[in-house]
Every structure is written in structure tokens, then in C-alpha cells.
Amino acid sequence: MPALLIKNVILNNERKDIYIKDGRIETISGKLELEADRVIDGRGKYAIPGFVNMHTHAAMTLMRGIGEDISLMDWLQNIIWPTEAKLTDELVYWGTKLACVEMIKSGTTCFNDQYWNLPAAVSATEEMGLRSVHSYVILDLMDKSKSSFLKEECERMYEFSKGWSSRNTFSVGVHAPYSVSPEMIQWAAGFARKRGLPVHIHISETEAENKDSIKMHGLTPTKYLDSLGVLGPETLSAHSLWVDDEDIRIFAERGVKAIHNINSNLKIASGYRFRYKELKEAGVVVSLGTDGCASSNNLDMLETMKTTALVQKAWREDPTIMPLDELLSLATENGGKSLGLPIGVIKEGYLADFSLIDTESVAFTPNINFMANLIYSANSSCVDTVICDGKVLMENRMVEGEQEIIQMVNKLYKQLL
Ligand SMILES: [Zn+2]
């Protein structure tokens, strides 16, 4: 793989050269005189780790704006699921490509996805050069007649995933404890555990979900899942918004990772009191996601970080609750930790997934505090260059194929309406 050298970039407030080989950050130093196939002039730019979007449904870019101003259950049952029944491989392929363009342009280099038509989604991601974890989604709506099909498909997709590049890995998706039968949840968790795969699941997204779970099982969704024996360090719990003290204790004990998706939660009015402080104090790894574009409308992790911090500060009436460095870690390093990947940090030995931020703009003037400007002042148009797996996916905000992708989605999305 060709070597890449970034010269004179600002990294943690110091001027550095970064040398990348075989997709990894090999050397970071004040001045490097090394041969490289490509040299990027980093003057005026700051290097930050690529964002890790820990919860999304990428091809939902196709449904941006489709169901506005309604509640989660109404939205799912009356808008999303009927629309998704019309998805084809072609639609998912182009929708995922559009999502990749959007993520690249906003500095995301890795995403943890849960969506349909897996082979189409993965080939789009492979072509766009992003890193991803793609799950085969189990959603049986308590219908036992679906289980043998789902099991066979999951197995088949897992085998198929062995042909993916090292950038894209397989996980098992369990839609939610209210939409998947206990037998299938247990089967999915067992399948994942045996093969060392993550399990990507929605837990306690709404208060109604908790109330229904208590009515049905006498247990919160977390305690119900724990009673099935399916929670473990491989569990990636999207939302986790309505967790009580006991749920948090279980998360910590089992090593469950929590993923906060504030913009989606706010917009569908699922809630906003994500118990970051308690989860952190219990030792739970917390990361951030955008959720799909049909609920949060974009895949912008900078916006996600800003909203996360503002809501936490306001709700807790405490401006110290979410310091800038910690906030950046939620969007980068903690995603890497949750997925068990050496990403989210610009450090020798880590995978070369990072962005260069252009600070020559009003948003960064004066540049007293780069991180504050980045998160609270700028928007993602400050992302100039994106490198993933040592390859340049964007330079000067140009992403290859962007126009064609926009045109194709504009042509195809009508099939869903
Ligand atoms: Zn979701």
C-alpha cells in the first residue's frame, strides 16, 4: 500500500508530520524526512481523529424528511416499516453511498450500521472507502415462522462477510427486545458470542418501551434481556435513554456499551435525560451516534457532539459535566473501544483514520481554543481532508463520485414513496 506523509499539521497544539504506511500511523514527529508516494501540506490545518458514528441506519438517507413531527411507534409502524418493505438492493446501494459521502464530508471515518440488504450496503461502503461494522438485522415481530429463515440468512451473511475487506466487519443486529422474540434474541446472542461478533441492539429508547416491558415481563428492557442471559461486553446498546440505577449496574457488570443518539431522541421526543454521569461513574463505555437520517435527518457527528454537550449541561445545570476533550473522546476513541478497533486516536500504531480541519475561516477566528471552535463555533464544512485506512477519501472537500451519487438518489428515491 502506498505511503502517505502529512507535513506541518497541528496535532494536540503542536506542529507535527504524520507518516502513514499500510493503513497505519507509523511515525508522528516534529520533522520527518521520509519518502512517501504522496505528501499533503497540512499548513493551517489541525488533525483530529475520524469520528466513529456508533449508531446509524445508513441507507435511511433515502428517507430524509419522510415522516416528520410524529412519535417513534407511529413513525416506525406507519411510515418506516411500510417504506422499507419497498427497498431494493439498488436503493440500499445508492442510499448507503449517499450516507458515505455525507459522513466523509463531516469527518466520520467509521460507522456502526444496522440495516437491510447487507451485500448492497457493504459493497457501497467498500467502494467509498469508509470503515464500518454492518449487522445482519434480526426482526421477527414475534413471528415464530420466520425463525428458520432468519437463522439461515444470518449464517449465510456471516459466511459471506468473510470475503469483505478488513475495513468492514460483521455483527449481529437485534432490532429491539419489543420487536424480537426471546428465542431469537437468545439465538442471536449465542451466534455472536460463539464467533466473537458484536450485537447491535436498541434498548430503552422510549419511556413507553420501558412501561410495556414492565407490564409484559415485570422487568425493564435491560433486566429482561439480562434474564435471557444475552447481555455481555459484545452488546452495543443504542439509546439506553431510560435506564434506571439497577439497569446501569447491569450494564457495568456485563460490560454493555451504551450509545447516545441525542438528535434522534430530541426530534422524536423520546427523551433527553441520557444518564451520562451515572453511566460514566459506573465504568460503562459511552459513545455517540446519529441514528438514521429518517429520524435525525443528518449524519453529522460535530452537530451530535454539540447537542450532546448542550443538553447535558442544561439538564444537569452544570457547565462542567461535559468537558471538550471528553466530548471528543465520546465521538472517537470510545467508539473504537466499543468496537474493539484501534481507531479514534491519532497515535503511532493506530489505524490511519483521521481528518484535517481547515481553520482559515470566521468560525476559527480567533483560534484561542481550537476544540471549542470546532465543536461550538464551526460546522462540518470545516472538514477539509479525510483519511481512512491510510487512503485519502476527501481533499479540499471533494469526494469522488459525489455528483453521480446525488443524481442517482434523486432519480431513485421516488420508488419508496
Ligand atoms: Zn436506530
pLDDT tens digits along 241-261: 999 999 999 999 999 999 999
DSSP code for 79: I
Instruction: Give the torsion sign (CA, 406, 411, 412, 417).
Output: positive
- Rounded distance between C-alpha atoms, residue 410 and residue 228, angstroms: 44
Q: Report CA(304)–ligand 1 centroid distance (Å).
A: 15
Q: Report CA(127)–ligand 1 centroid distance (Å).
A: 24
Segment 291-317 shows an average pLDDT of: 96
Q: Report CA(147)–ligand 1 centroid distance (Å).
A: 22
| pLDDT band of 72, cuts 50, 70, 90 | confident
- Write out pLDDT tens, residues 84-126: 999 999 999 999 999 999 999 999 999 999 999 999 999 999 9
Could you give the domains of the chain?
4-49+346-402 (2.30.40.10), 52-339 (3.20.20.140)
> Given this model, what pLDDT does residue 32 score?
92
> Given this model, what pLDDT does residue 2 score?
84
Helix (H), strand (E) at residue 354: strand 354-358
Segment 357-362 shows an average pLDDT of: 97
C-alpha grid cell, residue 63:
428517507
Q: Report CA(105)–ligand 1 centroid distance (Å).
A: 22
- Write out pLDDT tens, residues 174-218: 999 999 999 999 999 999 999 999 999 999 999 999 999 999 999
Q: Report CA(55)–ligand 1 centroid distance (Å).
A: 6
pTM for the whole thing? 0.97
Q: Report CA(114)–ligand 1 centroid distance (Å).
A: 8
> Given this model, what pLDDT does residue 73 score?
86
- Write out pLDDT tens, residues 127-153: 999 999 999 999 999 999 999 999 999
**β-bridge mates for residue 11, sequence order:** 14
Which residues keep their CB under 5 angstroms from ion ligand 1? Answer: 291
Q: Report CA(343)–ligand 1 centroid distance (Å).
A: 23
- Rounded distance between C-alpha atoms, residue 239 and residue 204, angstroms: 7
